Amino acid sequence: MTDPALPADGVPAPLRRSPLHDATSASGASFTDFGGWDMPLRYGSDLAEHHAVRQAAGLFDISHMAEFGVSGPQAAEFLDAALAADVSAIAVSRAKYTMILAEDGGVIDDLIVYRNAEAEYLVVANAGNHDAVAQALLERLQGFDATLADATEALALIAVQGPLARQILHATAGLEHDDDKAMGHTLDTLPYYAIMGAVFAGRPLLIARTGYTGEDGFELYVDAATAPLLWSALLEAGTPLGLLPAGLAARDTLRLEAGMPLYGHELGRDIQPAQAGLGRIAPPASKAVDFVGRAAVEAGPAADSRVLVGLAAEGRRAGRAGYAVLAPEGEGGAAVGEITSGALSPTLGHPIALAFVDPAVAAVGQVLDLDVRGSRIPARVVALPFYTRKK
């Protein structure tokens, strides 16, 4: 997430509201500014919402995400040149996690690209980077026979995440299979990072088997007008099975346990993908065509550039974003890094953090200290992710 820039008069723009604002408010949401949107932070207990996702399911309004449709005879060639992924190699109904990079290799945003038809793609970006992604795509579109359409206002996005997510979708009244839209899939056969069409209340929608929690689950793209009815139907179907509406606070601890990066914390304009452990996706070894930022990421960051690691500590005091990571006192005690995200893990019961540290102290097993409000808290570098769901 990034903070939206202030307009020239210095007065912040009014917060945008999700098509589900009234529905989530009726469910008891308290709201916060996230990427310029007034979004549910929590509905009650952050811990209860977190545990519901790990044990049953959570229902998220994530309609703040930015969506762009790309279509036309050269849609694939355009996205191949604009993004790090080998987009033309994505099969119809499949998805790819990728990035849109600047010329210097810095990350403008991380994205998911879905291929909905032979010459039709859906690009999903972070809310706070909507304008930056739109501008970069528009600039890179020049010379290609393709069309870029901003679908953010037209679509709502609802996530059902957790081990019972599929069961809940099956139980949702009005959600129906349609052979003509399903791209050869069913809810039971839809692979991870794939998408299918379906029908709800007579209206088309897209169901993707993707998420940002470390659990199995689905993300449903539906027109804004139909979204409140779908929210209610999912809530009615899922509540007897333990589903809870869940907000951004739970989503953050869930993604942290899963070791997933958050833009503005683990990713940014001054961070190359390789530093965040994502060099494998930018560029993929199989991608032959050039794309913006390729030369920079192939050259790589400076040898002494800090790299992202996972840190685990004991006790209950968690390091937070911005806190220093220190060498042990017996090794000089100097600052060797900085935490980007941290929390007391609800699932694991101990503090965890993501941090950028000097390469010399990045090996798994390395002992370090966290500076938590002036106190040294021992921690060690651990392999990511912190949590992996049971298959």
Going by the annotation, the residues of the binding site for substrate are 219
CA dihedral 276, 382, 388, 87 (to 10 degrees): 20
Q: What is each CA distance from 379 to 81, 280, 357, 361, in whole angstroms?
A: 42, 27, 13, 12
d(CA 294, CA 302): 16
Question: Which strand ranges, in their side-by-side order, compose the sheet holding 16-17?
Answer: 16-17, 37-42, 30-34
Is 76 in contact with 230 (CB distance < 8 Å)? Answer: no
Helix (H, G, I), strand (E, B) or coil at 178: coil
Strand partners, 34: 37
Angle at which helices 248-257 and 46-55 pack, to 10 degrees? Answer: 50
Is 224 in contact with 153 (CB distance < 8 Å)? Answer: yes
Beta strands 244-245 and 58-61, pairing class: parallel
Beta strands 66-71 and 16-17, pairing class: unpaired
Query: CA angle, 131 as apex, 125 and 137 as ends, to 5°?
Result: 70
Q: Which of 382, 362, 383 is nearest to 305 (CA)?
A: 362
Is 140 in contact with 13 (CB distance < 8 Å)? Answer: no
